[in-house]
Amino acid sequence: MTWDLTLAFGLGLVVGSFVNVLIHRLPRMIMGDAHVSDAQPYNLCWPASHCPQCQSPLKVWHNIPVLSYVWLKGRCSFCRHNISAQYPVIELTTALIWLSSIWYWGFNATGFCWAGFITTLLALSVIDWQTTLLPDDLTQALVWGGLMACALGWLPLRLSESVWGAVIGYTSLWSIATVFERLTGKQGMGAGDFKLLAGLGAWLGPLALLPVVMLASLSGASVGLILKFTHRLRSDGYVPFGPFLAMAGLAVAVIGIDVIARWMGW
């Protein structure tokens, strides 16, 4: 492994540790159930890292990505309560995302842009699957990140394509959801999905939106049926759409629109 890939992997581990913070804290900040006083604000920086079970503040050596989990044998150093395996899994996954992005796109601004793009999709997917929330902090960062990367020439899209991708991405799902709600009186899709597709449009362009939505719909319906027949569907019958949009967007980014179009017989 060359030095640039090694560095990318190490940076990915560090970023993955922060992704765990986003996954844990952003939904609680949105829903207001952080259980802290007005004198002690709850955000991404405060309070410092602590055990969610016994509330003991963690030492520096408790926060080393992956290694601390292995060293502590998956248990809190203070109360010996089990630490969720999600923490090292997210850290390793993010590290592999950064490693793969730099290997595929190169050790340059473009490679780091795509690493950030995929990492944001990972965070959004996990949060949406666990809580059915797609935080504006991440979806808007995706939109503006795509627009700025295109404006700076770091993505193979003209700025006008990025803008129209974002506009069409948002308005297309918003229109479908609005018509569905008017006809049925039920909400079929949340505003977070509109913003996520706008972000994907900003990165991939307007021509990618139809393949993304088709892939997401097919995969989401398939997983929904599997969950239903295995009796693991949520009690409200809702299957978050965000993770499937994210996976479809990643597929289009890596494989390309033309290849996916041929697979789908277009």
Instruction: Give CA torsion, residues 89, 94, 96, 101, to 10 deg.
Output: 160
Cα distance between residue 85 and residue 71, in whole Å: 13
- Per-residue pLDDT tens digits of the chain, which is 266 residues long: 588 999 999 999 999 999 999 999 999 888 876 555 455 677 887 877 888 778 788 888 888 999 999 998 889 888 988 989 999 999 999 999 999 999 999 999 999 999 999 999 999 999 999 999 999 999 999 999 999 999 999 999 999 999 999 999 999 999 988 888 888 877 767 789 999 999 999 999 999 999 999 999 999 999 999 998 998 887 777 889 999 999 999 999 999 888 877 776 66
Which two three-digit tokens encode residue 106?
A: 């190169």
C-alpha neighbours within 13 Å on the C-beta side of residue 174 = 12
pLDDT at 38: 55
Cα distance between residue 20 and residue 11, in whole Å: 14
pLDDT at 57: 84
What's the pTM? Answer: 0.92
pLDDT at 169: 97
Closest by Cα among 225, 200, 224 to 210: 200
